Chains A and B, each alone.
Chain A
Amino acid sequence: MAADRNQSSRNMRRLAKAGNGITLCLAMLFICMPGAWIVLNALRPTVEIMAKPPVWIPQRLSLEAFTAMFGAVGHGGVPVWDYFRNSLIVSITSTVIAIAVGMAGGYAFARYRFKGKSGLFLAFMLTRTVPGIALSLPLFIVYARLQILDTHFALILTYVALNVPFTIWLIDGFFRQVPRDLAEAAQIDGCTRWQAFWQVEFPLAGPGIASSGIFAFLTSWNEFALASQLTRSVASRTLPVGLLDYTSEFTIDWRGMCALAVIMILPALALTFIIQKHLVSGLTSGAVKG
């Protein structure tokens, strides 16, 4: 009897495990579908992309879209390298600045008491409620007056402003998780406040700061609406705006667009992959009792 019961409960567990696996697979399929579809479409001819009913299994794969993309303008070529460079410069610079400001601000919010703190914090959060696109016209007018349209500087400024409230909010949370005692212990151990921050608090909040960095980078890297208004030429156009090169008056080159989108995804994917290994949670466990 007991053996039977054990056997049946083991079977139940196996069944539950299998069900769990299947559910996860379905969910992953659903999540990955758009990405996979883009990669797939970059590799197959337009007729197949546009076919109705859809062709699920590709008949013919080729890298033509990619070769054309890097080819001469007029033969399907787009200035990929310029867009790529612009995107990198704008995203990396704005991320670094947003993280630096976010760290200073987040630390201040987490550790210091000052007048109007909660009001200020709320104000930062409220800026997140303004849709970015609503800012495009005012920004356009101001930047035009300042004559900084179509420059890296204009985009960097915009993205820093968009990202800073978010990074402050995230990083504040991560510093709050680092027990205050640790910085105090470090100060007693001979550190200045500055040293205590870099030696103890920063390494512990590091994974959190890195993840805020990813968020800020991806926001800047993928942003389209504002960039499309504030850029004019290859001098500052970023990759998402570059996708528009594949649209013309009557047609859209879906294959080319997907190919460029793949190019766009790669660095973001690589960055996330590299950093996520360092996003070890629970690093502070064992600092204080528990």
Chain B
Amino acid sequence: MATVSLEKLVKRYGNVEIVHGIDLDIADREFIALVGPSGCGKSTTLRMIAGLEDVSDGLVKIGGETVNDLPPRARNISMVFQSYALYPHMTVRENMGFSLKIAKRPKDEIDRRVAEAADILHLEPLLERRPSQLSGGQRQRVAMGRAIVRQPEVFLFDEPLSNLDAKLRNEMRTEIKKLHAKVQATVVYVTHDQVEAMTLADRIVIMRDGYIEQIGTPDQVFSRPATKFVAGFIGSPPMNLADATIAQGCIVFGNGDWLPIPTQYAPAVVVGQKVTVGLRPDDLYPTGHGLHSGDAGDVHQHDLKVAINEPLGNETLVFVEFAGREWVSRMLNPRPLVIGSAIPMSFDLSNAHLFAADTGRAIERTGG
């Protein structure tokens, strides 16, 4: 049983504070993704859990026990590095069995556990090779094999897929998901790729500048982003965000364009309030080419000029001009569009988001 909890965790290098007192409780066998742009402190946090970085302040607990002063080897963890960090002077078999050899396990046990791990990851044909003789994807699998041979309570992944090409990354993502289902350990997974976080994690922790912006399930962070930053970070293509002011019954953008106030926000806003409007590309579509989830009454129409479009086959991303900037919209069942022409666009405001312009925090909505 291994829960992981961080309490008021702080990391400083000299006078510079990198991580500012974050709190996080990770349940046993939970898959947590730490995600954020580079420099947000996610890797540092992971390394503090691993024991590779000293904790400046606060507590790291694994399985309820404070491990601040325990060396990495005493924490019962495994880690997969971004660089794989395979030992180049050892074969795949030796790499995978290294932790057991250090722990002075009997040879037949080492052989058996390496064989088990190799079986799970389909590494049998590679066992006698050296890392330099492996492809990137194979090295990645060996690195994971080395981690599971240890049978740790907590797996730590530090951007494990970022060195792979797109196709391999998708494959390995699936492998990691299967692996988690098989080994049933707690996983802390650091990535800057929100797709990885969304597809793999039970809960996502979005970090920015050493603070946690939001903790939630993939669905929660996607459909109820707590801040403007989360709204812009999660989802691909990213949410359209534009600053506006609340007027009588409508939201007015800087250039005079307007939208009605979404009904779920109507009671919460006051005239003159500065807000940021957020609308996902899925909720903005050429009329007749989208799915609206809410009330038909919440769909607002405007004729907008097409700036550019990006056909993806099954759908087309259409960039339209509105409120003085380009908004990206998702067009299902695409049809040819003429660049520069105006087309009727539907704004599905039942899924719109409003954020306070000053703090960036989501404005409380009522009802749906």
Interfacial residues, chain A to chain B (CB-CB below 8 A): 179, 181-182, 184-192, 195, 199-200, 203-204, 283-289
Say yes or no for B245: interface residue by CB 8 A criterion: no
B81 engages A184 (CB within 8 Å): yes
**CB-defined contacts of A186 to chain B, threshold 8 Å:** 87, 98
Assess the A190–B87 pair: CB atoms within 8 A. no
Q: Are A286 and B98 touching (Cβ within 8 A)?
A: no
A-B contact count (CB 8 A): 85
Q: Is B83 an interface residue (CB 8 A)?
A: yes
Taking A186-B98, A189-B102, A199-B102 as contacts, is the C-beta distance between A288 and B85 under 8 angstroms? Answer: yes
Once A181-B81, A286-B133, A289-B136 are accepted as A-B contacts, the answer to whether A189 and B146 lie under 8 Å apart by CB is yes
Q: How far, in angstroms, from A187 to B71 measured CA to CA in the complex?
A: 8
B73 touches A286 (CB 8 A): no
CB of B139 within 8 Å of the partner chain? yes
The residues of A that contact B150 with a CB separation of less than 8 Å are 189-190
* Given known A-B contacts A186-B98, A187-B52, A289 and B72 have beta carbons under 8 A apart: no
A182–B143 Cα distance when bound, in Å, is 12
Other-chain residue from A195, A200, A286, A289 in contact with B130 (beta carbon distance below 8 A): A286
The answer, yes or no, to whether B79 is at the interface (CB within 8 Å) is yes
CB distance from B243 to the nearest CB of A (A): 41
A-B contact pairs, 13 of them (CB 8 A): A181-B83, A187-B71, A188-B72, A188-B77, A189-B99, A190-B103, A192-B71, A192-B73, A283-B89, A285-B132, A286-B86, A287-B84, A288-B84
Chain B residues in 8 Å Cβ range of A285: 88, 132
Question: Are the CB atoms of B50 and A188 closer together than 8 Å?
Answer: yes
When distances are taken between beta carbons in the complex, the residues of chain A under 8 Å from B84 are 287-289
- Bound complex: CA A227 to CA B139 (Å): 53
B85 touches A179 (CB 8 A): yes
Q: How far is the CA of A188 from the CA of B136 in the complex (A)?
A: 22
Chain B's closest residue to A200 (CB) is B87
What 1/0 flags go to B299-332 for Cβ under 8 Å of A? 0000000000000000000000000000000000
- Closest chain A residue to B129, Cβ basis: A286
Evaluate contact between B88 and A286: CB separation under 8 angstroms. yes
**CB pair A286 B139 closer than 8 Å:** yes
Q: What residues of B have a CB within 8 angstroms of the CB of A191 in the complex? A: 73, 102
Chain B hits for A199, CB < 8 A: 98, 102
List chain A residues, Cβ under 8 A from B83: 179, 181, 287-289
Chain B neighbourhood of A203, CB < 8 A: 89
* 5 nearest CB pairs, A to B: A286-B132, A288-B83, A286-B131, A181-B85, A189-B99
CB of B191 within 8 A of chain A?
no
Hey, which chain A residues are within 8 Å of B3, CB to CB? Answer: none
A264 to B99, CA, bound (A): 47
| Cβ distance B142 to chain A, nearest Cβ, rounded Å | 10
Cβ distance A197 to chain B, nearest Cβ, rounded Å: 13
The yes or no answer to B199 lying at the interface (CB within 8 A) is no
Q: Which residue of B lies closest to A178 (CB)?
A: B88
Docked complex Cα distance between A47 and B117 (Å): 76
Assembled-state Cα–Cα distance A288/B51 (Å): 21
Q: How far is the CA of A200 from the CA of B86 in the complex (A)?
A: 10
| Residue in A closest to B75 when the chains form the complex, CB atoms | A188
Knowing A181-B83, A184-B81, A188-B73, the reply to whether A284 touches B102 (Cβ < 8 A) is no
